[in-house]
Structure 1
Amino acid sequence: MGNGHVTFTTSDPDEARDTLTRLYLPLELLPERGELAMRLDATAHTALTIGLISFGPRIRVRCPPNAHYHVVLPLAGRARYHSGDGPAVVSEPGTATVFAPEAPAELDWAPGTEQLCVMLDGREVERELRQLLGRDVGPRLAFAARMDLSRGPARTWVEALMLLTRAARQESELLSHPLAARRLEQIVFDALLTGQPHNYSDQLTTGAASPGRSAVRCAVDLVQAYPDREWTTGRLAAAVSVSARALTNGFRAETGMTPMAYLQNVRLDRAHQDLLDTDSSRTTVTHVAGRWGFTHLGRFAAAYRARYEEPPSRTLRRRTW
């Protein structure tokens, strides 16, 4: 998957199929009476694609087995889904459906249905799971098909999707920074893995003993030395050969905070120094925030003010040299 934002409308079924095939995967469109009025607003990132899609009249969509995970979230209307040998699932606003790789799927969209369709790179999702667990996995990752969007974790996941979508639509300066863009992708992956039930959920939530101080110390040193790397708790845990749960417990015992909270403080310190050292005519707060992986300017400003007792814009206006 590449990077880019696409808006598209068509009444030609072949043109609609070709566009969706390019953004998502090969598929077959079967519109009722051969008519459609497709509207598409999609963003393709490195490891996921997010698209708002509607077809107008009733339509069936057939998808072959593929290498990715898919989540569909109806925003209006009603749809029926069937994947592999599993039971059919009916979804309306407030619920979503998760499809596993390597199984054919058929989707039946009622007239007027509008959906957010998300495709996540299967290898990236499973790599993130391995890093969260701190070990290789056995059976293929399998999510529960139905996602309740009223639950807190699911709402967090949708918020991360919307943040990525808004940033792309606005050609946000934040997404010009690979660290910030990749961090948003990781938030989407981690929120799905920790919020939606699957066959490894119990292992992710089971408590683990804290690692020795040496593992925490090594993780701290890595964060201090390489704060610009695309760290997640899982990746940091894998780097010091412990599970994500154990590392989190160890960090809380040694530092009083989680690994990601500690990483945020380190990045805030680096951003603070950049704002002090750079002429305001040569940079912006948005640029500095994005450089250090902060993807939401309001939250960055609030965290910055809490740590340094002034807004980042004021720091930028006063140089130390």
Structure 2
Amino acid sequence: MTDARPRPSSPATLDVVRFSSQDPEEFRSVLNRFFYPAAVELPDGSKRFQASAEMIQLGPITVAQFRLAAPVVAAAELDAYHVTLPARGRVRIRQAGREYLAGPSTAAVFGPTGRAFVLRDGPPMEELDIKIERSALEAELSALLGRSIEGPVDLPPTLDLSDGPRLTWRRLVHLLRDELVHPGSLLLQPLIAEQLRHSLLSGLLLSAPHRYLAELTTPAPAGPPRAIRRALEAIHEDPRRPFSVADLAAVAQVSVRSLQEGFRRHVGCAPMAYLQRVRLDRARDALRVADHSRVTVAAVAHRWGFAHLGRFASAYRARFGEPPSVTLRAAG
């Protein structure tokens, strides 16, 4: 049984899917739909099969938590980057003539080309699978570097997620997975969803070894003042637009890292902090002229891109020395 229902109030790119079946063929069809063309087999003549999944699609990223009650062999033709992280049991991977083993602290990583064979030892088996569309990861890398790249990105076949920045990335993935059960999740807000999407992409690129990592972690030159002015003008022209750092870097025609360094040097804060400051100023202007009998603080906050009312109120008080409700009441 598959339940694929976009949340009514969610952005178009955010879908939640739930699946449960005792039919390997139905399991295969779900893999084909949300991941890749795949073949599914039960080894050793086993006839018992039970699979369930909870999946969330965040634009080009799909995160699925699979639970399997029997050993399963799957072979897939990959056209995206893919990370498999077992929570229980082990996964044996065969790709490009080599075999790898993944467990609760070691993820299996696949590139976007070739055929992969995956044997889930068990039962039971529980794992997180993360699919990242090739174009999305490579575009994120290009934006961070400020230049085109020659893909695919050469991620390693296994990744230790037990400590350091890779553990942080693993926690981000778990955060996204945990939102599956919360219909009121902040991920339903486009601004938050977009920021998390970029964090997952850039986090993987900054924590996994690959041939671009040294360049990514080398301090970048500051964007020139004219480039920073372009970003500032875009922010002031339309602060309600759900800008990401990559969006602003594209406007400025510099890399993400150069934009960040340029803002630090020429503006004195990070690009997203400056965007928040401008939004707070616009929200204050709106509250000052609003009719408090007809307009709410929440409505003004959402209009200017603040998804979480409590955080808006806290940031507002820190900037202006009073709660937004006081500003609204004073407007009459």
The one-letter code matched in structure 2 to 1:30 is: E
Partner SS for 1:116: strand
Partner SS for 2:85: strand
The one-letter code matched in structure 2 to 1:41 is: E
1:21 maps to 2:32 = yes
Q: Which of residues 149, 167, 177 is equivalent to 1:137? A: 149
Moved more, 52-61 or 235-244: 235-244
Q: Which of residues 44, 47, 57 is equivalent to 2:57? A: 44
CA 1:199–1:302 in structure 2 vs 1: closer, same or farther (change >3 Å)? farther
CA distance in 1, matches of 2:245, 2:39: 39
The one-letter code matched in structure 2 to 1:120 is: I
1:105 maps to 2:116 = yes
Residue of structure 1 equivalent to 2:319: 307
Residue of structure 1 equivalent to 2:258: 246
CA distance in 1, matches of 2:161, 2:326: 40
Cα distance per residue 1:121-160 (max 9 Å; x no partner):
2111111111111111124222223223233433333333
Which has the greater radius of gyration? 2
CA 1:124–1:115 in structure 2 vs 1: closer, same or farther (change >3 Å)? same
The one-letter code matched in structure 1 to 2:155 is: F
Cα distance per residue 1:52-71 (max 9 Å; x no partner):
101112221111132x1111
Structure 1 unaligned residues grouped into runs of 5+? none
What RMSD over aligned residues (CA atoms) do the two structures have, in Å? 3.0
The one-letter code matched in structure 1 to 2:224 is: G
CA distance in 2, matches of 1:6, 1:47: 15
The one-letter code matched in structure 2 to 1:92 is: G
CA 1:157–1:318 in structure 2 vs 1: closer, same or farther (change >3 Å)? farther
Cα distance per residue 1:183-224 (max 9 Å; x no partner):
322222122222222221112122232232221122222222
Maintained 8 Å contact 1:271/1:288: yes
Moved more, 207-216 or 117-126: 207-216
CA 1:252–1:176 in structure 2 vs 1: closer, same or farther (change >3 Å)? same
Partner SS for 2:41: strand
Number of matched pairs: 317
CA 1:299–1:78 in structure 2 vs 1: closer, same or farther (change >3 Å)? farther
1:265-276 matches, within 5 Å, as 265-271=277-283
CA 1:61–1:257 in structure 2 vs 1: closer, same or farther (change >3 Å)? same
CA distance in 1, matches of 2:293, 2:65: 38
Structure 2 unaligned residues grouped into runs of 5+? 1-11
**TM-score calculated relative to the size of structure 1:** 0.85
CA distance in 2, matches of 1:27, 1:291: 44
Percent of residue pairs bearing the same amino acid type: 35
CA 1:190–1:316 in structure 2 vs 1: closer, same or farther (change >3 Å)? farther
Moved more, 260-269 or 272-281: 272-281
Partner SS for 1:202: helix
Residue of structure 2 equivalent to 1:64: 77
Cα distance per residue 1:239-280 (max 9 Å; x no partner):
222222222221111122222332233334445556664758
The one-letter code matched in structure 1 to 2:238 is: Y
CA distance in 1, matches of 2:313, 2:183: 20
1:211 maps to 2:213 = no
CA 1:157–1:209 in structure 2 vs 1: closer, same or farther (change >3 Å)? same
CA 1:54–1:239 in structure 2 vs 1: closer, same or farther (change >3 Å)? same
Maintained 8 Å contact 1:179/1:290: no
CA distance in 1, matches of 2:32, 2:20: 15
Maintained 8 Å contact 1:75/1:92: yes
